[in-house]
Structure 1
């Protein structure tokens, strides 16, 4: 099951954006997160900008360069956004578990019947 949350007509948060935020948190930079996801730096930056615009606050904060260069971290809001999304995702999967299982069984049985 994949979950996408439509926050407004043009603003959606889904598994790709959440995975990017998680990758930024793990990698410590937007460029490294993009590389880890086989995504261009520009695409990763565009998605971060889109997340910040949709949410009307920063989910990612850039850190200025130093000895090892700059980086990026999730803001407290960004951390909360990821946690809330993952909780909503778990809750939705739990609520739909029986119906999803029944659907998978129906498909499995139909496939077996078609193979005969």
Structure 2
């Protein structure tokens, strides 16, 4: 899944790691607080400093593709729950619709 970011993640909001960070012993799913934002040129993922994760004094540098604001995670979970409730026919119709959107975007 690709997230299209239109504005920076809010400072001091919580974010979840989307991948392990072995050098700090952090696992995917760990939650920390965004403390700094580093805007990058277009085409390059913005950077963030995230701290917390239940480990005092640990601040890591990540790009926006390595984290997801907790608010975004809650929203994604809601979408997933709604998709799971669709009938088989509804899922097939949605899949065809999404394929059409992707085709037009590549177009």
TM-score, length basis structure 2 = 0.28
Higher Rg of the two aligned structures: 1
Structure with greater helix percent: 1
Structure with greater strand percent: 2
TM-score, length basis structure 1 = 0.27
